[in-house]
Amino acid sequence: MNSDQATSGFYAALMAIVRSIHLAEHFDSALPEVEPAILDLLNAERMTIYQRDVATSDIVSRYKSGDDLAEIRVPISNTSLAGYVALTGKSLNVSDVRDANELKSIHPQLKFDDRFERRTAFRSRSMLVVPIFSGQILLGVLQLMNRKGGGAFTERDEERARKLAELIGQKFKYDLGCTSSPYEGLVRSGVIQKQQLKKLTETMVEGRSVGELLLALPNVTKADLGRSLELFYQVPFLPYDPDEYQLHPVSERINPSFLKANHLVLLAREGDEGVTLLTDDPSDTSRIMLVENILGDLTLRVCCGLRKDIQQYLGLEAMPDVSQGNLSSLLDELEEEPSVDEFGQDDSDEVSEEDSTVVKLVNRVLADGRRLRASDIHIEPAGTRAPTRVRMRIDGVCQEIIQIPASHSRAVIARLKVMAKLDIAERRLPQDGKFSTSLKGHRQEVRVATIPTVHGEGVVLRLLQTGEPLKFDDLNLSDVNREGITEILRHPHGIFLVVGPTGSGKTTTLHAVLARLNSPDRKIWTAEDPVEITQPGLQQVQVKPAIGFTFASALRAFLRADPDVILIGEMRDPETAHAAVEASLTGHLVLSTLHTNSAPETITRLLDLGIDPVSFADALLGILAQRLVRTLCEHCKEEYLATPEQVQYLQRLYGKSAWVELNAGDEPHLYRPSGCSKCNETGYRGRIGIHELLISGPDMRDLVYRKASVSEIKAAAINSGMRTLLQDGVRKVIAGKIDLEQLHRVAV
């Protein structure tokens, strides 16, 4: 047979194999049928085909073992032949895998693992290992063992193996749902249009990546972008999460400039033995190999991420757990007792606010506040000789974190006043200010309030939650409330209010609603104090009462700027309330907040401000009252069977006639806090909203016309389907999200 005939026969046999593979639903189901033909075609005795596992960043081969499906799992690293080929993307042709010197000549750490052959009579000698790609993305590895007739595999064998691997890659691409570009997944899922993506890539902005430009679009979230990157690179997407990941100590071996220039960061997570490598381009094997060579025996897990997130990690140092010893290294530098001069007077003011230890201490307190997800930091003096307490409000509850020696209390407070541009000499009057700082690569807005007390100046720092809006579907609304708000948002004009005390999440909810409304065909203006959450597509304004630019004046200005939707940060005075009602009656959808205890009380409160009841009744669409409740830690909460007494109590709280709505039965399972390292042994982690939605209708308008009492309004709202804050809280108790103790803290 001449060479042309041999080539023709090879391609005919190859096409027959490929047809069988593509006709099968999955590659695994086709492999037993085509394996003998592949071995004959490639002149090998045995073979193993690995496929990439996106979740673990390993390569895995599945095979039948009796009636069960078993698997061989190999990490992508320098320590095995298949792992090395997956890591480097280069083929290997080894004449004797048991020759340690031959393997070391390829890579010092390369070894042959014969564990899988010890149970059989088969022994590998020669081996040909070829990567399976889709474009530039590795999807698997083809491993051939022992060339028939002995000796090493030839160059022709290698060429044919590559051709087969290329065709298998097409099947793997289909099985794994791979995309052809990093952002094609956004088009597939309908988040953006194909033409929109094309236009965006053609009009690149200097210094900004395509990912950053996509995130600037109102309908693209980081989660959407992450899923799209996972589909293309076939590795896990890792967003910026400093609570979960910190810089790995091995990072100290690598020049920081190299990491920043190549957009790489090495991360550690509690419980993981290896290293997580986060990169913006997992297909660039040369960069990954450089890092792998430095790590030695450490296992490497590759993930994809955004450049902005990588830079934030590079500016973040690993932080210890929450404890009194968090800041011990800094506090050790401070004097334990206040200094006293020869006249017996407190001399602590001699410590300057510019002292390096004071600066570090303030920065660390702010950084810990952000890391612990604190909403407020309270600095509370206790006299000239007693230490100053620092407490943080975490998930709505104050916790003492450290104590600052009295000798440095005034210096710490002065430092904060300097940052907020307040008068450091004035200690007799309250002062308000704010500042912006960079906490390990993340921008943090801080509001500062100083209040003179009998023991000295106290300071409260509000850590503003800047960033992207929460998704509307992530507000944890009940089905009835979600559908009710969705119906309200279909109205072209009217007033929708979100009410509750300070810190109850009103702004977060309103911005989630705005994100639902935000579209190219709507003009949206917001007046806020301060602007905490920003969204592309909104015209957001910061009010400045000190110069006369109030909510009311901003609202009047908006009406001259052709708005469709207006958000007013708070209706705190009659002038703003009157202007908001007038705006809603002239064809605008107005959203705002109010500090009231419940939805029915909001109506009487606004009528007390002097609003015309007829106009307000016509304008009102709905009122959402809400509170934030600490949620049980998902990692350690304990399930138990409710006692008959507890069931009767829950039924009384929810209403026996309405109890059937919850589908809880007579013996519901409840949950209680336990405590673990994830929640700092508290049993709680994060907060969830409980809600009360009053929807205006003909009966409600009639009650507003005649200025009905709160009890009448509440009764009518419940008859119309409203569930109170307490009832919504009971629903979340039954769902296992919160416990009764936390519900009692916020709802009566």
**pLDDT for the residue 723:** 93
**pLDDT for the residue 120:** 80
What rounded mean pLDDT belongs to the chain? 84
Average of pLDDT values for 694-709?
A: 92
How many Cα atoms occupy the beta-carbon half-sphere of 433 within 13 Å?
16
Q: Look up tokens 């016509």; give the residue.
A: 618
Q: Is the pLDDT of residue 596 over 80?
A: yes
**pLDDT for the residue 547:** 86
Determine the residue type at 262.
N
Cα separation, 282 vs 234, whole angstroms: 9
Are 91 and 60 within 8 A, CB to CB? no
Any idea which of 326-335, 616-625, 648-657 has the lowest mean pLDDT?
Answer: 326-335
Q: Which of 566, 695, 691 is nearest to 621 (CA)?
A: 695
DSSP string, 587-622: T-EEEEEE--SSHHHHHHHHHHTT--HHHHHHHEEE
Cα separation, 85 vs 704, whole angstroms: 74
Residue 98's CB is within 10 A of a number of other CB atoms, namely 12
> Measured between alpha carbons, how far is residue 410 from residues 97, 126, 263, 345, 690 in Å?
71, 75, 42, 15, 40
Q: Look up tokens 């990157």; give the residue.
A: 229
Determine the residue type at 611.
I
Q: Which of 591, 583, 592 is nearest to 555 (CA)?
A: 583
Phi and psi at 612, nearest 5°, equal -65, 120
Name the more confident of 217 and 331: 217
Beta-strand pair 589-594/538-542? unpaired
Residue range 46-80, pLDDT digits in tens: 999 999 988 777 899 876 555 555 688 888 888 88
Under the banding of pLDDT at 50, 70 and 90, the label for residue 343 is very low
Q: Which of 557, 588, 559 is nearest to 492 (CA)?
A: 588
Q: Give the H/E segment covering residue 653.
A: helix 644-654
Q: Is the pLDDT of residue 231 over 60?
A: yes
Average of pLDDT values for 675-683?
A: 81
Q: Which of 103, 99, 92, 182 is nearest to 130 (CA)?
A: 92
**pLDDT for the residue 331:** 57
Are 211 and 239 within 8 A, CB to CB? no
Q: Which of 107, 149, 104 is nearest to 126 (CA)?
A: 149
Beta-strand pair 456-464/388-394? unpaired
**pLDDT for the residue 347:** 44
SS3 content of the chain, % helix, strand, coil (to 5): 40, 25, 35
Q: Is the pLDDT of residue 92 over 50?
A: yes
Residue range 453-500, pLDDT digits in tens: 988 899 999 987 666 678 888 888 999 999 999 999 999 999 999 999
Q: Is the pLDDT of residue 161 over 90?
A: yes
**pLDDT for the residue 523:** 92
**pLDDT for the residue 733:** 92
Residue range 124-150, pLDDT digits in tens: 999 999 999 988 889 999 999 999 988
Cα separation, 77 vs 64, whole angstroms: 26
The percentage of the chain sitting over the pLDDT mark of 90, rounded to a whole number, equals: 35
Q: Is the pLDDT of residue 315 over 80?
A: no
Residue range 248-278, pLDDT digits in tens: 878 777 887 788 888 899 988 876 778 899 9
Average of pLDDT values for 397-418?
A: 86
**pLDDT for the residue 66:** 52
**pLDDT for the residue 345:** 40
Q: Which of 596, 594, 599 is nearest to 692 (CA)?
A: 599
Q: Is the pLDDT of residue 208 over 80?
A: no
**pLDDT for the residue 317:** 39
E-strand spans in 271-351?
275-279, 300-304
**pLDDT for the residue 312:** 81
Cα separation, 458 vs 380, whole angstroms: 5
